Amino acid sequence: MAGSAARWSGTSIAACSCGRRACRRRCTWRSRWPPRAACARARWDAVRLIAALRRDRYRVLGTTGADITVEALLAAHGQGRAIVDGLWSPLCVAALNTPVERASAQVFANVLRDSLGAARPASDLLLPAVDLTALFPDPAARHVEARGGSVHRGHRIARIEPAAGGRGWRLLFAQGRAEPAGPFDAIVLAVAPRALVDLTEGWPALRTMRAQVAALAYEPITSVYLQYPASVRLRHAMTGFADGPGQWVFDRGALAGQPGLLGVVISASTAQRAPGSDALAHAVHRQLCDLVPGLPLPEWTKVITEKQATFACTPGLARPGTLTEVPGIVLAGDHVASDYPATLEGAVRSGQLAAAALLARLPHG
């Protein structure tokens, strides 16, 4: 939202920017707000909650001294139904991918601390003008290669084992390469939780970490793509809905040069998976008809559900730390213990911590 102020009214709470350049695209939040008097109450509820969290330095403790659910936190601070349905619940699902009745109040408070509770730019919504591969992995690979490193794509690592003489580590590939890679002084295991369990099987020193990862529960995310005629476009590149099934719709024509393609995201989408793909796509189309009057039937639709998109961010969840009991092996990823839920921000911070931990342990010179 560089250069454009956030605002909160009956239909819009934020404008946004994207990529590396100032952007005129805007995002809007469509909500069924109550009458003006109730809106004033809802705003006051939000102010009271942020003020209370700030007073407590964003530390949340229930009556037993432990973390609680977001639902319990909101009830304890007297948050009315209007602000819960119109802001807190959608924000919790969007950030934690976990419904308020099961989500961690402490992690939610951390998110509020670093967004609504921080300076105005901290709440900016950034919409990338390119796909995420071009935004993050490709530049990272070029950075590594420009400094003498190598990036091996399409090579699945089957096992990690000590190098000869116990000095360093070797990587054994599942296919595509006959020879192991290494030895390496250290390894950052920046892989999905399921792969982490497989790669460290048989390592007694990592038993606790493996148990923590194996105990993680997961939440799904469903994406619904609808291809309309090229002339169909949204007023805003990103629009949020307060009433489902769709929660966010992105105009892929405005963002990625794919005219007429709309992408709808449904976080924590367990309930939406039950009717089936065709029924869900039809329901989303009807929802979009309210946004775009006269919207024709889509030329095609596609529903993709990632069943284990993120870990369920529940109260007091035990997550593995960056450092492990094995020297030279550190963890990175959004599932590693941090203030944040399973987000890009959490993954980036985890990577930075892992790199710093290795640099501190490795001999210099």
The reply to whether 244 falls in a domain is: yes
Confidence of residue 23 (pLDDT cuts 50, 70, 90): very low
Cβ neighbours of 7 (radius 10 Å): 9
The reply to whether 321 falls in a domain is: no
Cβ neighbours of 63 (radius 10 Å): 8
Distance CA 283, CA 275 (A): 10
The reply to whether 335 falls in a domain is: no
β-strand partners of 189: 331
Host domain of residue 121: 16-126
Q: pLDDT tens digit string along 158-179? A: 888 888 887 889 888 887 666 7
Cα diameter, the chain:
74
Count of domains in the chain?
2
The reply to whether 295 falls in a domain is: yes
Name the phi and psi angles at 164, rounded to 5. -55, 135
The reply to whether 328 falls in a domain is: no
What is the pTM assigned to this prediction? 0.84
- 3-state secondary structure (DSSP) of residue 46: helix
Between vectors from CA 105 to CA 83 and to CA 57, what angle results, nearest 5°? 95
The reply to whether 243 falls in a domain is: yes
The reply to whether 117 falls in a domain is: yes
The reply to whether 356 falls in a domain is: no
Q: Are strands 218-227 and 169-173 parallel, antiparallel or unpaired?
A: unpaired
Q: pLDDT tens digit string along 314-350? A: 999 999 999 999 988 999 999 999 999 999 999 999 9
Between vectors from CA 54 to CA 50 and to CA 57, what angle results, nearest 5°? 140
